[in-house]
């Protein structure tokens, strides 16, 4: 989708999100047969940074002491699950 640095990752509109100290629960009301998605650890941390570019997310995870290689596959999983997507900045 063009220049990845100019793409901002955002949660999909309309999701029901409950955030706890170390956990995020996400439910898509438009898909009533799907169970909630529970994010913990680095996944919950990255989710909490959205909206952001992939570059910003990698930088923040490294600054938080996490591996930089967790961001791309996590974003791909969010996109495949319909929980987040990229938009031009």
Please check whether residue 14 lies inside any domain of the structure.
yes
- Whether residue 51 is preceded by a cis peptide bond, meaning omega within 30 degrees of 0, is yes
**Rounded to whole angstroms, what are the CA distances from 31 to 1, 81, 87?**
26, 11, 22
User: Measured between alpha carbons, how far is 44 from 7 in angstroms, rounded to an integer?
Assistant: 21
In a domain, 78, yes or no: yes
* Domain total of the chain: 1
Kindly report, residue by residue over 32-65, the tens digit of the pLDDT: 999 999 999 999 999 999 999 999 999 999 999 9
Containing structural domain, residue 74: 8-82
| Residue 88 forms part of a structural domain | no
Check if the beta carbon of residue 63 is closer than 8 Å to that of residue 71.
no
Report whether 51 contacts 41 (CB < 8 A). no
pTM, two decimals, is 0.89
Residue 6: its pLDDT value, please?
Answer: 81
Is residue 76 one of the residues assigned to a domain?
A: yes
Q: Is residue 72 part of a domain?
A: yes
Of 78, 5, 11, the residue nearest 43 (C-alpha): 78
């Amino acid at each position: 989708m063009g220049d990845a640095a100019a793409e901002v990752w955002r949660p999909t509109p309309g999701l029901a999100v409950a955030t706890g100290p170390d956990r995020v629960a996400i439910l898509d009301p438009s898909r009533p047969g799907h169970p909630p998605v529970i994010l913990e650890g680095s996944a919950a941390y990255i989710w909490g940074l959205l909206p952001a570019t992939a570059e910003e997310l990698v930088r923040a995870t490294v600054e938080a002491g996490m591996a930089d290689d967790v961001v791309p596959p996590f974003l791909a999983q969010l996109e495949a699950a319909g929980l987040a997507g990229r938009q031009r900045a």
